[in-house]
Amino acid sequence: MPELKVVEREGEDMKLVWEYVALEAYVYSGSSDNEVHKITPAGNNEWTYTGHGGWVFAVAVDADGYVYSGAWDNEVHKITPAGNNEWVYTGHGHNVEGVAVDADGYVYSGSSDDEVHKITPAGNNEWTYTGHSGTVWGVAVDADGYVYSGSSDDEVHKITPAGNKEWVYTGHGATVNVVAVDPNGYVYSGSNDNEVHKITPAGNNEWEYTGHGSNVEGVAVDADGYVYSGARDNEVHKITPAGNNEWKYTGHGSNVEGVAVDADGYVYSGSIDDEVHKITPEGNNEWIYTGHSGTVRGVAVNPGLYPIFWNGE
């Protein structure tokens, strides 16, 4: 029986359930070696996917273990749990920099063509959002199908499930590299201003974290509101829900480009040192994966936390 965590949504008569869907955390990494790797809970290679023709810049994984990768070949690939190609989406006109997937298998991709695309579970275009005026580096999606995108136009956009602009956040003064969203609809963005921002569901600034010494390239958030950020100061930080530093991990030898967190609070970070690190909830190294031969920027983990609505009745 899976363990459940219930989070109340402020101002709504609903409960959002985040379900622990498996017992062991498999990790997925994308690299400038053009490959996607599946890494076992013990830190070993399970399979290697070589279907891309360019740097794999982003990865996401769904509750069933299907993997979605975006690369500098302008494509998004859906990869089966066994490591085989399911489909290839070629709707973008330039590098794909960010991907996310929702509970229904719809995929969201951001690109250097300045666009966000919603892709159906069958691999077709559902809509194209053109509200940005620069490269879309990061995308995230919440349980209601709202999409969040960060761009080199220094903005974070909230996009409706139909593909329209809901709001624009302009609190960063530099390129927004990454976005994440928590169960309550709060958004977290990392930027070349070296900061992590917490943005309210209405699009306002909640707090700014200034603990990093260089560009923030990776951000993840857990069900309790703790935030994990990776930066080009070679560090991973755990940030409290109030915006304070909990710990700093300094095990990487170069820029940290991507982070993910699993249901038990273990953190996974990819770096220009070509490695993936597993970090304990206390901030210590658990293992180091060295199977890549290039920069690791895309990192995802299964199980993560998967949102299910329940009205409590």
Domain assignment of residue 200, yes or no: yes
Reference 219, options 133, 209, 85, 115; nearest CA is: 209
Choice between 21 and 171, residue whose per-residue pLDDT is larger? 171
| Range(s) of the domain holding residue 158 | 4-278+288-310
- 23 Cβ contact partners less than 8 Å away, ≥ 6 residues apart: none
User: What is the predicted pLDDT for the residue at 303?
Assistant: 60
CATH of the domain at 121: 2.130.10.10
d(CA 291, CA 36) in angstroms, rounded, equals 10
Domain assignment of residue 274, yes or no: yes
Name the residue with tokens 């089966």.
80
Reference 169, options 140, 198, 134; nearest CA is: 198
Domain assignment of residue 137, yes or no: yes
Domain assignment of residue 162, yes or no: yes
Number of domains in the chain: 1
- Is 216 a residue whose pLDDT tops 60? yes
Tens of pLDDT, residue by residue over 237-270, are 999 999 999 999 999 999 999 999 998 899 999 9
d(CA 189, CA 149) in angstroms, rounded, equals 9
Tens of pLDDT, residue by residue over 109-128, are 999 999 999 999 999 999 99
d(CA 182, CA 12) in angstroms, rounded, equals 16
Q: What's this model's pTM, rounded to 2 decimal places?
A: 0.90
Domain assignment of residue 283, yes or no: no
Which string of b and e fits 69-94 if b means at least 16 CB within 10 Å? bbbbbbbbbbbebebeeeeebebbee
Domain assignment of residue 124, yes or no: yes
Domain assignment of residue 175, yes or no: yes
- 31 Cβ contact partners less than 8 Å away, ≥ 6 residues apart: 37, 55, 56, 270, 274, 292, 293, 294, 295, 296, 297, 298
User: What is the predicted pLDDT for the residue at 13?
Assistant: 46
Confidence tier at 24 by pLDDT (50, 70, 90): confident
What is the mean pLDDT of the segment spanning 205-220? 98
Domain assignment of residue 33, yes or no: yes
